Amino acid sequence: MKDAPASESFIRPHLRKLAAYTPIEPFEVLSKRLGRDALDIVKLDANENPYGPPPEVLEALGSMPFPNIYPDPETRRLRAALAEANNIPAENLLVGCGADELIDLLMRCVLEPGDLIVDCPPTFTMYAFDAAVNGADVITVPRLDGFRIDVPAIVEAVQQQRPKMVFLTSPNNPDGSMIAEEDLLAILKLPVLVVLDEAYIEFSQEPSRLRWVLDHPNLVIFRTFSKSAGLAGLRVGWGAFPVNLIEYLWRAKQPYNVSVAAETAACAALTNPDYLQRVRDALVSERQVLLEGLQEIPFLQPYPSHANFILCKVVRGQDAKAVKDVLAMEHGIMVRHYAKKELSGYIRISVGRPEDSRKLLSALHGLCQPGGTGAPTQAIEKE
């Protein structure tokens, strides 16, 4: 009998070249790796919300009436609640298993293998990742100083290379900067589908541009319950789309992409807007406290942010990866460091509770002391 082919040979060629995704570790895994109780870990690496959702969420999850029945494929209850809360017709809204699912779903509907998207790094890495999964190629238009998007370069890329999609993020992850209105309007004039990811919009002082999809047939907006609503673990993202486009997403999506638990939790969260506002206010005011604290650390240059995280350049000869490692291994404080070359000298710190900032700032001050934990200059752990 002939040898069976190696199982790898069945994989689609473009996926064989795909770099593995490096996920953030959850509490249970971290707890084992660091040898610390989960409650003793300060998790500031994934822009999660330390306060969690309103109490109504756990109550609703504890009394879900029909967990044995498949969920509503149209998430009617949640879309109606979102429509009401955001003054936008439910027919423009679609819910997914996180905004992550919607990025992939939209690409699956729009992109043929070999099509192009425009990505403006540094930014959320899932746009380039999902483009690769979908066999599309990425035109990279790097951000300018101060992380502003390079509008003339985007215009030129669209005119010359005819990409199908441009991905924009406001506030942008990892730096927290906003997209200026004139920049967005200039890009919306182009013959390209514009995806505006507003995962962190609740932490900015500016309103969401959700309703712009009613006037711009080439605009899509993504939102999420993961950040300001504290439901990252339940996986609920949503988007606003022009009606002519959303029809095809309905056809292509998995029927049961939002679980009963996810829809129940998101609906319950929306019943307590006062709680959501209090948590948002707490994180926004803590962001200022943290920014001022970080400005006092001699080897960090923090960037002002409109989101629930602060990007810091690590300067004065310190090694960013080593700072991250010392915080994790010696203090149980997780911050984000990047393997990518253009961000390897940076760390991103999520805004937590006041006690989280105190622990972090005290550990960072310790790193400055001669004879303290030691000024780190090289990495101690492989990422």
Distances (CA, A) of 221 to 103, 216, 272: 10, 11, 24
Residue 108 C-beta: closest distance to ligand PLP, Å = 16
Element (H, E) at 346: strand 346-350
- Strands (DSSP E) contained in 108-226 are 116-119, 137-140, 165-169, 193-197, 219-224
* CB neighbour burial string for 117-126, b if at least 16 within 10 angstroms, e if fewer: bbbbbbbbbb
Of 240-269, which residues contact ligand PLP (CB under 6 A)?
none
Decide whether 198 or 286 has the Cβ nearer to ligand PLP.
198
Stretch that binds ligand PLP, among 27-35, 84-92, 184-192, 224-232 (CB under 6 A): 224-232
**Given 71, 237, 239, 376, the residue binding ligand PLP (CB under 6 A):** 237
User: Which range binds ligand PLP by CB under 6 A, 50-58, 93-101, 108-116, 323-331?
Assistant: 93-101
Helix segments in the chain, DSSP class H: 13-16, 27-34, 55-62, 76-86, 98-110, 126-133, 151-161, 181-188, 243-252, 260-270, 273-295, 320-331, 354-368
| Residue closer to ligand PLP (CB basis): 175 or 319 | 175
Shortest distance (Å) from residue 171 CB to ligand PLP: 8
Options 45, 92, 110, 124; binder of ligand PLP; rule CB under 6 A: 124
> Looking at beta carbons only, is 101 or 319 nearer to ligand PLP?
101
Smallest gap from residue 380 Cβ to ligand PLP (A): 26
Among 110, 199, 328, 367, binds ligand PLP (CB under 6 A): 199
Q: Which of 198, 325 has the CB closer to ligand PLP?
A: 198
335 bridge partner residues: 44
Closer of 121 and 237 to ligand PLP (Cβ): 237
* 224 is an interface residue for ligand PLP by CB under 6 A: yes
Check: CB of residue 283 under 8 Å from CB of residue 122: no
- H helix or E strand, kind and range, residue 335: strand 333-337
351 in Cβ contact with 286 (< 8 Å): yes
Cβ contact 124:272 at 8 Å? no
**Binding residue for ligand PLP, selected from 50, 54, 71, 98, defined by CB under 6 A:** 98
CB of 193 to ligand PLP, least distance (A): 17
Which residues 133-192 are close enough to bind ligand PLP by CB under 6 A?
169, 173
Cα–Cα dist 321/346, whole Å: 8
Sign of CA dihedral 101, 102, 106, 109: positive
What is the Cα gyration radius of the chain?
Answer: 22
CB of 96 to ligand PLP, least distance (A): 8
Residue from 30, 47, 136, 326 in contact with ligand PLP (CB under 6 A): 47
The residue (of 46 and 282) whose beta carbon lies closer to ligand PLP is 46
Check if the beta carbon of residue 103 is closer than 8 Å to that of residue 222: yes
* Residue numbers at the binding site for ligand PLP (CB under 6 A): 47, 98-100, 124, 169, 173, 197, 199, 224, 226, 232, 237
